[in-house]
């Protein structure tokens, strides 16, 4: 009973942390999907560019993962209070399901992170060259929006003659002050965002594994505890 009580206390704390992590992942997914920096690139990207597909998939995956984590936390909390083996098993299943989704996400983060960066840079290169070739192009408004969102101005170009493009599309503060290379600024912004995502996923995996251990231990503890309560009512 002492071990059961200790497990229940730890599982309640873990469930609270998992619920907060689920809410954090839902918030991060929403910010990534509706944030100005990401929506600009997504709206401009062409059909041949993979960024829009990655953008949509990341949002739906994050929402599903957060819902699974929150459900696991709620089931584990209810199982702790009621000492129900059925609820405990369901909580373990939700933790395991979240863990199976987290592992591919972490692997994809480290194996395909350059794909996201390349697709965003390709969008900027396309818009910039379109404006450079045709100053009256409607792409000029899109290029101006990117410069204002990332607080940058232009890029190094082997073709030269970029002063006219940058003067018409860059923020005034960037024109007069030291100009920031947009390709470098996009890379830095994406790196910070992905580093935060990696940290959040790593912490979530740790709590998910710990939740699986606690729910499985609690399930067996409840089972053996109920058998011990029958002591003296049967003959070995």
Q: How far apart are CA 222 and CA 1, in angstroms?
A: 9
> Dihedral (C-alpha) 162, 168, 169, 171: value to the nearest 10 degrees?
110
Element of type H or E holding 208:
helix 182-228
pLDDT of 158: 59
- Report how far apart the first and last C-alpha atoms of the chain are (Å, whole number): 22
Q: How far apart are CA 190 and CA 176, in angstroms?
A: 26
Sequential pLDDT tens for the chain (236 residues)? 666 778 788 989 999 999 999 999 999 999 999 999 999 998 888 777 788 888 999 999 999 999 999 999 999 999 888 878 888 889 999 999 999 999 999 998 888 878 888 999 999 988 888 888 876 677 888 888 898 888 888 787 655 555 667 777 787 665 545 567 888 999 999 999 999 999 999 999 999 999 999 998 888 877 666 544 444 444 43
Q: How far apart are CA 204 and CA 212, in angstroms?
A: 12
Q: Residue 148 to residues 11, 55, 73, 79, 141: CA-CA distances in angstroms? A: 47, 21, 41, 51, 11
Cα–Cα nearest to 73, from 92, 59, 86, 60: 92
Dihedral sign of CA atoms 45, 51, 53, 57 in order: negative
Q: Tokens at residue 132, please?
A: 């450079």
Domain ranges of the chain: 1-150+163-171+179-230
182 and 155 Cβ atoms separated by less than 8 Å: yes
Dihedral sign of CA atoms 122, 106, 195, 41 in order: positive
The helix-helix angle for 182-228 and 51-82 (nearest 10°) equals 20
From the number of C-beta atoms within 10 Å of its C-beta (0-12, 13-18, 19+), residue 138 rates as exposed
Q: How far apart are CA 9 and CA 14, in angstroms?
A: 9
From the number of C-beta atoms within 10 Å of its C-beta (0-12, 13-18, 19+), residue 101 rates as middle
From the number of C-beta atoms within 10 Å of its C-beta (0-12, 13-18, 19+), residue 177 rates as exposed
């Amino acid at each position: 009973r002492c071990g059961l009580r200790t497990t229940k206390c730890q599982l309640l704390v873990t469930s609270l942390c998992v619920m907060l992590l689920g809410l954090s992942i839902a918030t991060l997914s929403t910010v990534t999907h509706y944030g100005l920096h990401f929506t600009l690139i997504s709206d401009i990207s062409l059909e041949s560019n993979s960024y829009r597909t990655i953008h949509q998939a990341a949002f739906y995956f994050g929402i599903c993962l957060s819902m699974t984590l929150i459900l696991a936390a709620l089931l584990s909390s209810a199982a702790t209070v009621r000492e129900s083996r059925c609820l405990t098993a369901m909580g373990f299943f939700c933790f395991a399901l979240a863990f199976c989704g987290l592992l591919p996400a972490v692997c994809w983060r480290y194996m395909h992170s350059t794909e996201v960066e390349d697709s965003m840079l390709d969008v900027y290169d396309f818009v910039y060259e379109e404006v450079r070739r045709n100053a009256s192009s409607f792409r000029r408004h899109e290029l101006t929006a990117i410069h204002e969102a990332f607080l940058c101005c232009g890029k190094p170009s082997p073709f030269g003659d970029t002063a006219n493009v940058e003067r018409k599309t860059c923020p005034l503060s960037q024109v007069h002050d030291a100009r920031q290379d947009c390709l470098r600024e996009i890379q830095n912004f994406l790196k910070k965002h992905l580093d935060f995502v990696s940290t959040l996923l790593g912490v979530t995996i740790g709590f998910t594994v710990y939740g699986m251990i606690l729910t499985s231990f609690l399930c067996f503890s409840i089972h053996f505890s109920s058998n011990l309560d029958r002591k003296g009512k049967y003959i070995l």
